[in-house]
Structure formats: structure tokens, C-alpha cells
């Protein structure tokens, strides 16, 4: 098992390096020379300065000298900066915790994304719990009552559910719950002008988060219900189920103990993978509801051409995706011995 884990981790690391280099290379295609802009501004302000000198200075300060590979590893934190006098400088990259800075006040990216990150994780955990709480019973029910009228209705419902784009669902729900019924606020993180504290503030926050949460949960119902149903059907057709029934085990025990445990293997991996994938999926929701999360920060940065924030968050998304892959692989390995043998 240990060998399998190490192998997977090494492999994922390799993929991360390839992918991050790819992203870095694409990012470098943006025609944007920070050093040249800085140097030009200085020379314009003070005629005594030489452009070439200042340019070299800023290039070295920002770590923009050298070829693409050097810059890439410098950005990772594995290759040193060139000091201003030309000697070898310090390491200062991602690994050292330097994610770059935003054009907005020059704030460091790590600082900028701290609060939104909390919000996003908070919302995603809630959405996951809600979605699982609905989809698992529903999926089991459909699998057991397979082919019945109710199953067909749910099947059609789930197709409609996963065919609808998130933004259409969001618009419909805003119209229904916020405009027509007036139950929830249209967007925002908290009731404007409030000065709640403690538990009251938490309640207010939950109240404002309700609508995005409902939309997010609703959008994931379709796909997940189908998945649970499919794996449950698979499990119900196993020989052990037939044996259990033949032995006269109660039907509820057959379903919830024998079949459900077998169905759990793919579902566990699905849940982990899904939880991580909604990070990138919540870009849409956060923007529609003006929810201060990672997706909103990413979107705003893209809009304002705030390139370093974009790069850092892009890496974050890739990191999350790969971590998801790794966790899924490992979970499979733990649950299903056949896999770690064959690899």
C-alpha cells in the first residue's frame, strides 16, 4: 500500500509541474511587461535616469530576467532571484509563500484570498452536506423501485436538472424566491446596514447565503442522484444480494446493509471528487449572488487584468483538481484492493 501511495503522489507531483508550467507559459503570452512600465514611468519622472539601467533593476527586482524556465522555477521558489547587483539572490516564490501581488493597492495575493477562501469553503461544505442528504436517499429509492412510475418521474426530473445551466436555475430562483415571493435577498453577504453580533450575525449570514446554497444544491441534484441510482442498481444485481434474499434476510437489511455497502465504493470517490470540483463550479454562483468567495475574486481579477491574482488562483484551481484526483485514487486503493495490485 505504501508503495502505491508514494507512486501516486510522485505521479501527481509530476502532473502538477507539467500543468503549472503549461499555465505559466500561457500566462507569459500576455503581453505585459511590468518592469518596462515601471522603468518608463521612472524615466518620465526623472530625466537623469537611464532607461536601460532602471529596466534591468526592475526586471531583477520582479524576477523577470532569464528565460521561461528560469522564471518558472523562480516563481515556484526553486530558482533564486538575481540580486540587483547581478549576484545570486534569495529564493522567493510560491514555496516560500509569495503568491505575487494584486494591482489593487499592491496587496499580496495570499492576503487577498484569505477571507474569500473561508467563505467559499464554508458554502461548499454546506452545499455538499445538503446535496448528499437529498441525493443518497433519493438515489436508493429510485434504484429499489426501478422502472416504477415514480422512478421514471425522478429520472426525467434529473435529466432536466443536469441539463439546465447553473445561471438559468439561478435566474429562475432569484425571480421566484427573491422577486415574487420576497423570501430571500437577491444578492449580497449580509443584510445592508446591520450591526448584528454573535449568533444573530451568523443567522443573518445564513439567511443571505440561503438562496445561493439552494441553487447550488439544486444544480447538483440531477447528476448525483443518477450516479447513486446507477451504482445502487449495480450493487443490487450482485450475487450476494440474491443469496441474502434467498436466505430470507429482511428486505430493508438487504438494501441498507448488503447493497448499500457495495454501492458506497464509487459513491465515496464521487463525493470527494465532486466536493473539490465545485470549487471551480462556484465561480458562476458567487458572481451571480455577489458572494465574496474565491470565484468572485478570480472573476474580478480577470475583468481587471489583475494578472498575478489570476495566475495564483489558476494554480489554486489546478492544485485542488489534482489533490482531488489523488484523494480519489487513494480512496479507491484503500477500498478496493484489486486496484493497488494492478497498478
Partner 1 sequence: MSDKKLNNIDESNVVVDQEQTADNNEVQAEQTELQKKNFFASVGSGIANIGKTVWRWIKRAFMGGDKELSEKDKFNVENIESPLKQMTKEFFRRKIAVVALVVLVCMFAFVFIGPLFVPMDVNYTDTLQQNIAPNYTMMKVPNALKNDIKSISSFSNFSVGLSNSGKMYIWGDTKLRLAGVDLADFPEEIKDDNVAFVSAGKDHIVAITKEGKVVAWGANSNGQYGHTTAIGAVEMPEELISGTIDPSQVSQLVCGYQVTAIVMKDGSVYVWGNGGTVKNLAEIAQMTNVAKIEFSTATAMAILKDGTFTTGSKDYFTSVVSSVNGTSSSLSGYLNGREVIDVVAADYSIALLLDGNELVMSGVFENNEDKIPQLPEGEYFTQIDAGTRHYVGVTNKGNCYGWGHSFYGQAGFDPDSGASKVFAGAMQTYVVNESDDLIATHGLKGYLMGTDGSGRDIFTRIVHGGKMTMTVGAVAVIVSSIIAIIIGCLSGYFGGWVDMLLMRITEIFASIPFLPFAMMLSLVIRNYPVDETTRIVIIMVMLGLLSWTGLARMIRGQVLAEREKEFVIAAKAMGIKESRIAFKHILPNVISVILVSMTLSFAGCLLTESSLSYLGFGVQQPQPTWGNMLNGANNSIVIQNYWWQWLFPSIFLALATISINVIGDTLRDVLDPKSTLDK
Which of residues 44 and 153 has its CB atom nearest to partner 1 in the complex? 153
β-sheet bridge partners, residue 82: 88
Instruction: Give the binding range for partner 1 (CB under 8 A) out of 17-25, 63-71, 73-81, 213-221.
Output: 17-25
Distance (Å, whole) CA 160 – CA 225:
12
**265 part of the interface to partner 1, by CB under 8 A:** no
Distance (Å) of CA 336 to CA 237, 327, 331, 340: 19, 14, 8, 8
In the chain, how long is the greatest CA-to-CA distance?
95
Per-residue x/- track, 213-252, partner 1 (CB under 8 A): ----------------------------------------
Does residue 280 interact with partner 1 by CB under 8 A?
yes
Candidate ranges 35-43, 66-74, 101-109, 175-183; the one touching partner 1 (CB under 8 A): 175-183
Nearest in space to 94 (alpha carbons), one of 322, 276, 323, 308: 308
* Choice between 42 and 234, CB closer to partner 1: 234
Q: Which of 298, 308, 330, 333 binds partner 1 (CB under 8 A)?
A: 298
**Shortest Cβ 329–partner 1 spacing (Å):** 10
Is 38 an interacting residue with respect to partner 1 (CB under 8 A)? no
Residue number, 81 or 270, with CB nearest to partner 1: 270
Q: Judge contact between 194 and 204, C-beta under 8 A.
A: yes
CB within 8 A of 306, min separation 6: which ones? 102, 103, 104, 300
Contact assessment for residue 218 and residue 226, using Cβ atoms and an 8 Å cutoff: no
Query: How many Cβ atoms are within 10 Å of 11's Cβ, its own excluded?
Result: 15
Q: Does 26 bind partner 1 (CB under 8 A)?
A: yes
Binding track over 140-159 against partner 1, x by CB under 8 A: -------x--------x--x
Q: How far apart are CA 253 and CA 257, in angstroms?
A: 5
Contact range with partner 1 by CB under 8 A, out of 50-58, 63-71, 241-249, 315-323: 315-323
- For partner 1, which residue of 1, 9, 13, 18 counts as binding (CB under 8 A)? 18
Q: Closest Cα to residue 325, out of 60, 14, 1?
A: 14
* Distance of closest approach, residue 281 Cβ to partner 1, in angstroms: 7
Distance CA 131, CA 123 (A): 12
Task: For residue 228, give the nearest of 258, 166, 271 by alpha carbon.
Answer: 271
Contact segment (CB under 8 A) with partner 1 among 75-83, 169-177, 200-208, 209-217 equals 169-177
CB closer to partner 1 out of 18 and 253:
18
Residue of 3, 31, 87, 90 interacting with partner 1 (CB under 8 A):
31
User: How far, CA to CA in Å, does 91 sit from each of 79, 290, 319?
Assistant: 6, 37, 21
**Which one of residues 186, 241, 265, 331 is an interface residue with partner 1 (CB under 8 A)?**
186
Burial class of residue 195 in the structure, from the number of CB atoms within 10 Å of its CB (0-12 exposed, 13-18 middle, 19+ buried)? exposed
Nearest distance, CB of residue 230 and partner 1, angstroms = 10
Contact criterion met (CB below 8 Å) for 301 and 120: no
Q: How far apart are CA 132 and CA 165, in angstroms?
A: 20
Residues that bind partner 1 (CB under 8 A): 15, 18-19, 23, 26-27, 29-32, 147, 156, 159-160, 162-168, 171-172, 174-175, 178-179, 186-187, 277, 279-281, 283-284, 287-288, 298-299, 302-303, 305, 307, 310, 313-314, 317-318, 320-322, 325
Amino acid at each position: 500500500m505504501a508503495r502505491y501511495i508514494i507512486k501516486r503522489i510522485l505521479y501527481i507531483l509530476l502532473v502538477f509541474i507539467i500543468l503549472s508550467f503549461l499555465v505559466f507559459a500561457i500566462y507569459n503570452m500576455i503581453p505585459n511587461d511590468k518592469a518596462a512600465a515601471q522603468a518608463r514611468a521612472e524615466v518620465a519622472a526623472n530625466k537623469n535616469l537611464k532607461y536601460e539601467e532602471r529596466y534591468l533593476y526592475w526586471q531583477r527586482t520582479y524576477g523577470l530576467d532569464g528565460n521561461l524556465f528560469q522564471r518558472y522555477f523562480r516563481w515556484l521558489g526553486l530558482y533564486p532571484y538575481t540580486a540587483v547587483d547581478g549576484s545570486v539572490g534569495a529564493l522567493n516564490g510560491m514555496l516560500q509563500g509569495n503568491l505575487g501581488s494584486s494591482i489593487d493597492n499592491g496587496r499580496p495575493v495570499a492576503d487577498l484570498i484569505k477571507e474569500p477562501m473561508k467563505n467559499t469553503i464554508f458554502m461548499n461544505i454546506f452545499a455538499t452536506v445538503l446535496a448528499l442528504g437529498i441525493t443518497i436517499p433519493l438515489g436508493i429509492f429510485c434504484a429499489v423501485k426501478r422502472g416504477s412510475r415514480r422512478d421514471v418521474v425522478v429520472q426525467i426530473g434529473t435529466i432536466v436538472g443536469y441539463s439546465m445551466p447553473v445561471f438559468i436555475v439561478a435566474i429562475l430562483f432569484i425571480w421566484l424566491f427573491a422577486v415574487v415571493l420576497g423570501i430571500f435577498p437577491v444578492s449580497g453577504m449580509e443584510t445592508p446596514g446591520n450591526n448584528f453580533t454573535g449568533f444573530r450575525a451568523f443567522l443573518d449570514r445564513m439567511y443571505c447565503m440561503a438562496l445561493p446554497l439552494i441553487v447550488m444544491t439544486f444544480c447538483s441534484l440531477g447528476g448525483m442522484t443518477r450516479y447513486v441510482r446507477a451504482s445502487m442498481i449495480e450493487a443490487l444485481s450482485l450475487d450476494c444480494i440474491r443469496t441474502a434474499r434467498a436466505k430470507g434476510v429482511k428486505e430493508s437489511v438487504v438494501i441498507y446493509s448488503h447493497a448499500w455497502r457495495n454501492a458506497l465504493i464509487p459513491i465515496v470517490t464521487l463525493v470527494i471528487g465532486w466536493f473539490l470540483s465545485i470549487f471551480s463550479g462556484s465561480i458562476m454562483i458567487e458572481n451571480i449572488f455577489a458572494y465574496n468567495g474565491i470565484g468572485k475574486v478570480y472573476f474580478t481579477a480577470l475583468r481587471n487584468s489583475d494578472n498575478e491574482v489570476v495566475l495564483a488562483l489558476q494554480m489554486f484551481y489546478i492544485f485542488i483538481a489534482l489533490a482531488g484526483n489523488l484523494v480519489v485514487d487513494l480512496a479507491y486503493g484503500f477500498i478496493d484492493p484489486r486496484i493497488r495490485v494492478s497498478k
